[in-house]
């Protein structure tokens, strides 16, 4: 049967792959892809923990067999991932306009 | 094996395989499409965890929003198709060694900790209780996150504006 271990295993693997992308990619968009993978792994963990730990209680009159706090946290992570992607792509486009490429090793000065 | 377990292993294999392509693909466009697939399958994992609202949110925001943005970013910042194909990277072994070390530590923690294991009861639909939680207990964080999103979007459009050259 499905246990918490399965989901933690999956998210550990995805997290490690994200770290590998952040470390080994030179392309700024590749680094951003790695960050998205890392955030996604964290989200899998949040949702899995919220599913597998039980706090029977009432939330505003609605009977709740399990805590939903983990899912709320996952929603905030998704919101912040959207913010981060928008800002990062704006910076990447600026980088391209300034240096003519998005290889992160070539951006070595504060002003182009 | 029960159905949920089979579905989990299929989804997990697809997620890990496409995340691997996203990390190691030579072409950055292929990497973005692999990430698309990986995030899409993650919505299936959320559905397995009875998080129906999150599964839909994942598809709408990640797959429909962030990835389209990512593809725009890629296509706007490539001088030629040639460069797009030959995006260089550092040697494999550095990243792989660091990622392998982190994975080993995580697996060690995973095996040595005893996690809570009760579950298995059916959850009702989560959308209504999530809405109640967001607008009552977490209303301050919710409003701040909307302000953050607004600020981030205005900041992004300010950053990419066409500069006036004198």
Q: Which two tokens stand for residue A79?
A: 């919101």
Position A10 scores a pLDDT of 93
Residue B112's H or E segment, with its range, is: helix B92-112
Nearest CA in chain B to A60: B132
Inter-CA distances, A8 with B12, B30, B71, B106, Å:
11, 27, 30, 9
Same domain, B20 and B83: yes
Domains defined along chain A, listed by start: 4-106 (1.10.287.3510)
Q: Which two tokens stand for residue B99?
A: 């990622």
* Distance in Å from the first CA to the final CA of chain A: 57
Give the C-alpha separation, B55 to B40, whole Å.
9
Same domain, B82 and B155: no
pLDDT digits (tens, 9 = 90+) for B27-78: 888 888 999 999 999 999 999 888 889 999 999 988 888 888 888 888 877 7
Position A65 scores a pLDDT of 45
Position B119 scores a pLDDT of 58
Same domain, B72 and B127: no
Nearest CA in chain A to B86: A27
Asked if residues A93 and B73 have their Cβ atoms less than 8 Å apart, the reply is yes
State the pTM of this model: 0.86
Q: How many domains does chain B have?
A: 2
Angle CA(A50)–CA(A54)–CA(A59) in degrees, nearest 5? 85
Does a structural domain hold residue B27?
yes
Q: Quick check: B20 pLDDT over 50?
A: yes
Identity of the residue in B39, B89, B103 whose CB atom sits nearest the CB atom of A13? B103
Chain A residues with CB inside 8 Å of B16's CB?
10, 13-14, 17
pLDDT digits (tens, 9 = 90+) for B74-124: 887 776 555 554 555 667 778 888 888 998 998 888 888 877 766 555 567
Same domain, B164 and B85: no
Same domain, B29 and B71: yes
**Contacts of B22 by beta carbon, 8 Å cutoff, 6+ apart:** A17, A21, A33, A37, B31, B32, B34, B35, B38
Does a structural domain hold residue B118?
no
Chain B residues with CB inside 8 Å of A42's CB?
none
Same domain, B95 and B128: no
Position A25 scores a pLDDT of 84
State whether residue B37 sits within 8 Å of chain A by CB.
no
Token pair 């209780």: residue: B129
Position B12 scores a pLDDT of 93
**Contacts of A3 by beta carbon, 8 Å cutoff, 6+ apart:** A52, B115, B117, B119
Can you say whether the dihedral through the CA atoms of A64, A67, A72, A75 is positive or negative? negative
Residue A64's H or E segment, with its range, is: strand A62-64
Same domain, B87 and B137: no
Q: Which domain holds residue B159?
A: 123-166
pLDDT digits (tens, 9 = 90+) for B119-144: 555 567 778 888 888 888 889 999 99
Does a structural domain hold residue B106?
yes
Inter-CA distances, B73 with A56, A89, B77, B101, B107, Å:
45, 6, 6, 32, 35
**Contacts of A63 by beta carbon, 8 Å cutoff, 6+ apart:** none
Does a structural domain hold residue B117?
no
Give the C-alpha separation, B98 to B116, whole Å.
29
Same domain, B21 and B72: yes
Same domain, B23 and B70: yes
Bridge partners of B16, per DSSP, are none
């Amino acid at each position: 049967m499905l246990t918490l271990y399965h989901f933690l295993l999956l998210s550990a693997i995805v997290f490690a792959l994200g770290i590998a992308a952040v470390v080994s990619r030179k392309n700024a968009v590749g680094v951003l892809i790695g960050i998205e993978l890392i955030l996604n792994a964290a989200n899998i963990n949040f949702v899995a923990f919220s599913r597998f730990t039980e706090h029977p209680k009432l939330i505003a009159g609605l009977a709740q067999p399990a805590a939903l706090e983990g899912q709320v946290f996952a929603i905030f992570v998704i919101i912040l991932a959207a913010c981060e992607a928008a800002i990062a792509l704006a910076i990447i486009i600026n980088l391209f306009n300034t240096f003519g490429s998005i290889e992160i090793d070539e951006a070595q000065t504060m002003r182009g | 094996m029960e159905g949920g377990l089979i579905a989990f292993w299929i989804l997990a294999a697809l997620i890990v395989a496409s995340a691997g392509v996203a990390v190691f693909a030579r072409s950055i466009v292929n990497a973005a499409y692999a990430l698309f697939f990986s995030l899409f399958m993650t919505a299936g994992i959320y559905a397995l965890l009875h998080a129906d609202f999150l599964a839909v949110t994942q598809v709408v925001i990640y797959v429909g929003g962030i990835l389209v943005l990512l593809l725009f970013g890629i296509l706007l910042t490539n001088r030629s198709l040639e460069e797009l194909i030959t995006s260089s990277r550092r040697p494999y072994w550095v990243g792989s060694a660091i990622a392998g070390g982190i994975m080993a530590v995580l697996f060690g923690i995973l095996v040595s900790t005893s996690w809570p294991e009760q579950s298995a009861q059916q959850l009702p639909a989560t959308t209504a209780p999530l809405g109640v939680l967001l607008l009552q207990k977490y209303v301050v964080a919710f409003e701040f996150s909307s302000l953050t999103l607004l600020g981030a979007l205005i900041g992004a459009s300010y950053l990419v504006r066409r500069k006036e050259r004198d």
